[in-house]
């Protein structure tokens, strides 16, 4: 089969979000490469990719900068031949009053000439559903789900039409579930009607994977789609109708030998649970003391000394703390500064451990994963089978491969770290 390039191109606003949507595309049979930032147009790592996901770290930066980076990613994806673009953001719609979901979606839509663009964050496999424009996490409204305490993007309103409107210059509307239930043709008609009435962005309800698949079918001709990873469920089928895709072979990865480590920088409830489980099992764990970091003490060196002292065992190094402790630290240092210090420390620790022969990294937290992957000088990731919904095994591209599991803070069951270590070792039992 000869072809002009990849079919689907995604722009993800954080690194774990990127692996999340890449995992969906691989599950649907598309050979997928995730690039860390924007590579050269002719980079060999994308040579045989059917889908490309550009991982940016643009979720919490200034809106103008997020727009500029996203437009540069768009240029790259178009030069790589991508026919359909997906802007991937968080299934809990992580953003601030200024953005960056609205500004980036509007800038991409303008560049692509897409007059009305859907926004579908729903991710049912991880309990994120949207009904009447309101986002639920499990049974709780977004603003009562723990996300109201997020260190960088506290989500205090579950009404996504209102949240997106506050960040957008155009008009935000809603395609509700009763329309979604009527199927692709009715969804298309409702989008057309909303467009005629002046809407430019449309939150789309979805409570199941079947809903997302039908929304994907309805948006077959949209050159731009925005949403969580679930919105990619139905997209490969639109291409499969006219071309052959890799299918099950898309998930095959090479084995990576070497030492392993778990690094956790997420403050999310789920990561707190996973860290607690590790400690309860009396496995070695080093806690990063943020106040010591702020005082300029050599915390990274201490963490590495702890690693050395536990040779032969897998070590967890974590900054994860419960919401009340996090608030105290943030009040003392400032949320932004504390976050940056922790990310920098975990990145530096990862780099030092790589020099000590660590080749398999399990990382918890989106921003944290971004910092770690950059510190490890990883340029691209090949995406393998899922370890948990939204978290695939990955292996870095290039001559010195590393195995990585990059976990969004709130993903995975309590035993995720153990499962991920097994998966990265090549043992899928």
Ligand X SMILES: O=C(O)[C@@H](O)C(=O)COP(=O)(O)O
The interface mask with ligand ADP, positions 71-100, x = CB under 6 A, is ------------------------------
Question: CB-based burial of residue 209 (10 Å sphere; 0-12 exposed, 13-18 middle, 19+ buried)?
Answer: middle
In angstroms, the Cα distances linking 2 to 48, 115, 244 are 10, 32, 11
Cβ closer to ligand X: 32 or 179?
32
Does position 126 bind ligand ADP by CB under 6 A? no
54: phi then psi, degrees, rounded to nearest 5: -90, 120
Return the one option of ligand X, ligand ADP, none that residue 342 interacts with (CB less than 5 to 8 A, by type). ligand ADP
Any idea what the Cα angle at residue 90 is, between residues 142 and 18, rounded to 5°?
A: 160
Q: Which pairing describes strands 128-131 and 285-287: parallel, antiparallel, or unpaired?
A: unpaired
**x/- track of binding to ligand X for residues 214-243 (CB under 6 A):** --------------xx--------------
- Which of 6, 30, 109, 290 contacts ligand ADP by CB under 6 A? 290
Which residues in 334-393 contact ligand ADP (CB under 6 A)? 338-339, 342-343, 365-368
Contact status: 146 vs ligand ADP (CB under 6 A): no
Place of tokens 């049979």: 29
Which of 3-32 are b and which e, b meaning 16 or more Cβ less than 10 Å from the residue's Cβ?
eebbbbbbbbbbbbbbbbbbbbbbbbbbbb
Please tell me whether residue 23 binds ligand X under the rule CB under 6 A.
no
Q: Does 343 interact with ligand X (rule: CB under 6 A)? A: no
Residues 6+ apart with CB under 8 A from 298: none
Q: DSSP readout, 144-164?
A: GTTGGG-SS------BHHHHH
Kindly state whether residue 90 participates in binding ligand X, applying the rule CB under 6 A: yes
> Does 179 interact with ligand X (rule: CB under 6 A)?
no
Q: Is 133 in the site for ligand ADP (CB under 6 A)?
A: no
The count of residues interacting with ligand X (CB under 6 A) is 15
Nearer to ligand ADP, 68 or 323 (CB): 323
Question: Min. distance of Cβ 295 from ligand ADP in angstroms?
Answer: 14
Tokens encoding 91: 């299934």
Residues 392-421 that bind ligand X (CB under 6 A): 408-410
- At closest approach, how far in Å is the CB of 150 from ligand ADP? 6
Rounded least distance, CB 303 to ligand ADP, Å:
14
C-beta of 339: minimal distance to ligand X in Å?
A: 11
Q: How far apart are CA 262 and CA 417, in angstroms?
A: 7
Q: Which does 319 bind (CB under 5 to 8 A by kind): ligand ADP, ligand X, none?
A: ligand ADP
Residue 41, exposed/middle/buried by CB under 10 A (0-12, 13-18, 19+)? middle
Q: What residue number has its CB nearest to ligand ADP? A: 409
Least distance CB 160 / ligand X (angstroms): 14
Show the site string, 395-424: x = touches ligand ADP by CB under 6 A, - = not. -------------xx---------------
Cβ within 8 Å of residue 48, ≥6 positions away: 31
Contacts of residue 25, Cβ cutoff 8 Å, sequence gap at least 6: 8, 10, 32, 50, 51, 53, 232, 235, 236, 383
Q: 119: helix, coil or strand?
A: strand
Tell me which residues touch ligand X (CB under 6 A). Answer: 14, 16-17, 20, 90-92, 123, 228-229, 366, 390, 408-410
């Amino acid at each position: 089969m000869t072809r002009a390039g990849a079919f689907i191109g995604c722009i993800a606003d954080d690194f774990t979000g990127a692996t999340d949507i890449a995992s969906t595309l691989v599950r649907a049979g598309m050979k997928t490469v995730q690039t860390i930032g924007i590579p050269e147009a002719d980079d060999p790592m994308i040579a045989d990719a059917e889908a490309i996901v550009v991982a940016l770290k643009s979720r919490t930066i200034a809106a103008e900068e997020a727009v500029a980076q996203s437009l540069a990613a768009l240029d790259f994806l178009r030069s790589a031949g991508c026919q359909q673009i997906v802007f991937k953001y968080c299934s809990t719609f992580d953003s601030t009053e200024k953005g960056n979901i609205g500004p980036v979606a509007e800038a991409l839509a303008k560049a692509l000439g897409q007059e009305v663009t859907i926004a579908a964050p729903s991710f049912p496999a991880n309990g994120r559903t949207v009904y009447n424009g309101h986002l639920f996490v499990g049974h709780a409204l977004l603003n009562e789900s723990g996300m109201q305490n997020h260190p960088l993007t506290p989500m205090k309103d579950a009404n996504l039409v209102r949240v997106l409107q506050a960040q957008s210059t155009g008009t935000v509307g809603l395609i509700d579930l009763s329309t979604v239930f009527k199927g692709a043709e009715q969804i298309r008609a409702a989008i057309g009607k909303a467009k005629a009435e002046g809407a430019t962005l449309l939150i789309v309800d979805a409570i199941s994977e079947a809903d997302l698949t039908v929304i994907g079918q309805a948006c077959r001709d949209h050159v731009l789609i925005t949403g969580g990873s679930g919105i990619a469920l139905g997209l490969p089928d639109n291409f499969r109708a006219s071309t052959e895709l890799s299918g099950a072979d898309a998930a095959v990865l090479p084995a990576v030998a070497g030492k392993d480590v778990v690094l956790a920088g997420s403050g999310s409830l789920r990561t707190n649970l996973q860290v607690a489980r590790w400690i309860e099992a009396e496995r070695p764990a080093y806690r990063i003391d943020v106040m010591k970091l702020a005082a300029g003490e050599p915390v990274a060196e201490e963490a590495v000394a702890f690693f050395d002292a536990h040779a032969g065992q897998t070590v967890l190094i974590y900054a994860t703390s419960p919401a009340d402790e996090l608030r105290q630290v943030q009040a003392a240092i400032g949320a932004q500064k504390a976050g940056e210090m922790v990310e920098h420390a975990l990145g530096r620790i990862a780099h030092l451990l790589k020099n000590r022969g660590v080749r398999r990294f399990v990382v918890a937290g989106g921003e944290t994963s971004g910092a770690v992957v950059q510190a490890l000088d990883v340029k691209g990731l090949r995406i393998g089978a899922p370890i948990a919904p939204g978290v695939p095994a990955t292996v870095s591209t290039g001559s010195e491969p590393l195995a990585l599991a990059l976990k969004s803070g709130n993903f995975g069951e309590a035993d995720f770290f153990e499962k991920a270590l097994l998966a990265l070792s090549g043992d899928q039992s």
